[in-house]
Amino acid sequence: MAGLLNNLGHLQVKLKRLDLALGAFQSAARVFEEIGDRVNAAWQEGNCGSVCRDRGEHDEALDHYHRALAVFGELGPRVGVVDQASNIGYIHAMKGEVPEAIGWFEKARQGYEALGEKEKAGLAARNIEVLRAHSGKP
């Protein structure tokens, strides 16, 4: 059931039905929690954060991403930690909080490199370069 709700949430995102997507991801998170699957519940928190980001609700997005990060930090997988660091970096960048964004993107870059995710590490590095260029700091 939770997997179906997750799939429904992703479908709703593609259809730009963000309210319905958020509801589906929240429901999936509850079901995963009820069956004791905290890791998959955390992935749903990350999905909720992305929907909130797309709705322009940056503080709510950060709340979701930090909740997901806490679970991934405790239980893994490492890629969950790194993905949430990148997501948090994006939100800080969107809010104009450049030092915070750079810090989170640097954590993501290092994490992706450690995982052998060269493409994602490169993207995080480019985000850092862009932020530094726009802020006037090397």
Last residue within a domain, chosen from 64, 92, 108: 64
69 domain-assigned = no
17 domain-assigned = yes
How many folded domains does the chain comprise? 2
- 86 and 50 share a domain? no
- Under the banding of pLDDT at 50, 70 and 90, the label for residue 134 is confident
- 37 and 81 share a domain? no
Range of the domain at 49: 1-64
- 85 and 44 share a domain? no
Q: Is residue 36 classed as helix, strand or coil in its secondary structure?
A: coil
Query: Tell me, what's the pLDDT at 99?
Result: 97
Burial 39-60 (b: 16+ CB within 10 A, else e): ebbbbbbbbbbbbbbeeebbeb
- 101 and 51 share a domain? no
Q: Which residues, other chains included, contact 29 with Cβ-Cβ below 8 Å and sequence gap of 6+? A: 41, 44, 45, 48
70 domain-assigned = no
- 57 and 19 share a domain? yes
- 84 and 59 share a domain? no
- 106 and 131 share a domain? yes
What are the tens digits of pLDDT across the range 60-105? Answer: 999 999 999 999 999 999 999 999 999 999 999 999 999 999 999 9
Query: Tell me, what's the pLDDT at 84?
Result: 99
Amino acid at 76: G
